[in-house]
């Protein structure tokens, strides 16, 4: 029997004849009746790994970057760190824990908010978040985990948050924004729609559902050969506006799978930037088991930077995670590992997990983007030492 998500999709197709892939992806991931990310109890470690879950050193190095941002802001008494798409909170816990142990002055200023997605039908009326006016208020704000220093806010994004002075952090978030798929056919951009052939999902090509698809591709000035398949993330436009409205002064740190437009829309990437993950198995068929596997698509960082600039977010640096973590000093953790009183097996397990963060065949290939607002930077951010041309 089809799942509730599959029935929802089939109902829309029968009503309208076809739907965009963006609509299909939205329902698969976020439908309140059983979308992948609404099934909160089992989807994190059961389906895929992330940099924060690989080793706590990832959070420690992010904390080093946040501390420098705090200093560049003039060491204010309050530094907001807002993590959007916080999932199980492992990154939040490792960042706050490191700051308490290693940077107590910064830890006193740090107010960490973990914002996670809740489907509209399952949100409670108290999901709107107001910044606390005092430390006493802060201690009871949102839904705080005991003694964690992390405040948890459930909602659909940044819409309820304003006046952030600090950093908005997004780790592996934008690659789950629904995307429109396209194919170059007879020299024209044709959009991929989802429909039914009997009882099976199938694709059909037709005129784009919105001129914004062609406008985005034209703005990137990329050469797309006949037959090229790709994706366009239009949701980033609203996302850039949300970031700008939420951030009063400070930084945005985006960490995600993706590339600059020239690489993303190259012939080598035709049809290969969207994939699915379920139970740690990677495949390319998004129509199998709707709602039961993650669907992810590489991020166009060129467009993300340009959209940010339109909303007052200035690019500070864009670099691969391997170099970002190396600039922040991951090598020192490898050296310290040798000094720890651990068994040889435990040392090796730690070394392998840490290496995955900088391995270009693993998490090291992820890209990191920093943007700033309301600031004139006289020095660069530590994580972005040597920039790519």
Q: CB neighbours (10 Å) of residue 34?
A: 19
Mean of pLDDT values over 360-367 = 93
Check: CB of residue 191 under 8 Å from CB of residue 213: yes
Positive/negative CA dihedral, 311, 317, 319, 325:
negative
Please tell me the distance from the alpha carbon of residue 209 to that of residue 204, in angstroms, as a whole number.
Answer: 13
Strands 367-373, 247-256: pairing is antiparallel
Considering only CA atoms, which of 382, 242, 225 is closest in space to residue 312? 242
Q: Flag the least confident range among 55-69, 153-167, 172-186.
A: 153-167
pLDDT at 158: 80
pLDDT, mean over the chain: 87
The Cα–Cα gap between 119 and 141 comes to 21
SS3 149: coil
The phi and psi torsions of 296 (rounded to 5 degrees) equal -135, 150
pLDDT band, very low/low/confident/very high, at 389 (cuts 50, 70, 90):
very low
pLDDT above 60: residue 9: yes
What six digits make up the tokens of 300? 């166009």
- The model's confidence at residue 280, banded by pLDDT at 50, 70 and 90, is low
- The candidate with the shortest Cα–Cα distance to 100, out of 137, 130, 67, is 67
The residue that leads in pLDDT, 355 or 123, is 355
**Rounded to a whole number, what is the distance in angstroms from the first to the last CA of the chain?**
52
Confidence of residue 117 (pLDDT cuts 50, 70, 90): low
Closest residue by Cα to residue 111 from 74, 68, 154, 140: 140
Determine the pLDDT at residue 331.
95
Which one is predicted more confidently, 124 or 310? 310
- What is the average pLDDT across 239-260? 96
Mean pLDDT, residues 87-99 taken together: 90
Evaluate the CA torsion angle 370, 386, 52, 112 in order and state its sign. Answer: negative
- 281/332: higher pLDDT: 332
C-alpha closest to that of 229 among 195, 278, 179? 179
**pLDDT over threshold 50, residue 239:** yes
The structure's pTM equals 0.89
Is 252:170 a contact under the CB 8 Å cutoff? yes
DSSP code string of 85-129 = S-TTSHHHHHHHHHHHHH-HHHHHHEEEEEEEE--GGG--TT---
Nearest to 240 by CA among 197, 296, 177, 147: 177
């Amino acid at each position: 029997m089809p799942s509730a998500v599959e029935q929802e999709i089939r109902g829309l197709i029968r009503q309208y004849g076809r739907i965009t892939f963006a609509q299909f992806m939205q329902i698969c991931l976020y439908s309140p009746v059983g979308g992948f990310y609404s099934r909160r109890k089992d989807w994190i470690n059961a389906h895929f790994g992330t940099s924060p879950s690989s080793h706590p050193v990832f959070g420690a190095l992010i904390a080093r970057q946040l501390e420098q941002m705090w200093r560049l802001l003039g060491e204010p008494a309050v530094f907001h760190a807002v993590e959007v798409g916080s999932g199980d909170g492992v990154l939040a816990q490792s960042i706050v824990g490191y700051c308490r142990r290693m940077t107590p002055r910064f830890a006193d200023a740090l107010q960490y908010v973990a914002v996670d997605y809740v489907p509209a039908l399952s949100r409670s009326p108290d999901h709107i978040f107001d910044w606390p006016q005092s430390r006493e208020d802060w201690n009871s704000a949102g839904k705080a985990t005991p003694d964690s220093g992390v405040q948890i806010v459930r909602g659909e994004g940044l819409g309820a948050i304003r006046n952030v002075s600090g950093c908005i952090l997004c780790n592996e978030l934008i690659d789950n924004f629904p995307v429109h798929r396209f194919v170059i056919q007879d020299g024209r951009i044709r959009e991929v729609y989802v429909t039914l052939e009997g009882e099976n999902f199938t694709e059909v090509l037709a005129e784009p559902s919105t001129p914004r698809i062609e406008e985005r591709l034209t703005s990137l000035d990329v050469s797309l050969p006949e037959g090229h398949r790709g994706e366009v993330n239009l949701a980033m436009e609203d996302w850039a506006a949300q970031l700008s409205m939420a951030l009063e002064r400070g930084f945005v740190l985006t960490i995600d799978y993706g590339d600059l437009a020239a690489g993303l829309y190259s012939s080598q990437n035709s049809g290969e930037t969207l994939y699915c993950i379920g139970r740690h198995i990677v495949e390319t068929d998004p129509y199998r088991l709707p709602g039961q596997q993650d669907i992810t698509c590489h991020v166009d960082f060129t467009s993300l930077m340009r959209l940010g600039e339109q909303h007052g977010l200035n690019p500070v640096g864009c670099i691969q995670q391997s170099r970002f973590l190396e600039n922040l000093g991951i090598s020192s953790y490898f050296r310290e590992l040798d000094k720890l009183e651990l068994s040889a097996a435990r040392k090796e397990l730690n070394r392998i997990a840490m290496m995955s963060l900088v391995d270009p065949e693993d998490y090291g290939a992820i890209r990191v983007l920093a943007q700033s607002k309301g600031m004139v930077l006289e020095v660069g951010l530590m994580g972005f030492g040597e920039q790519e041309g």
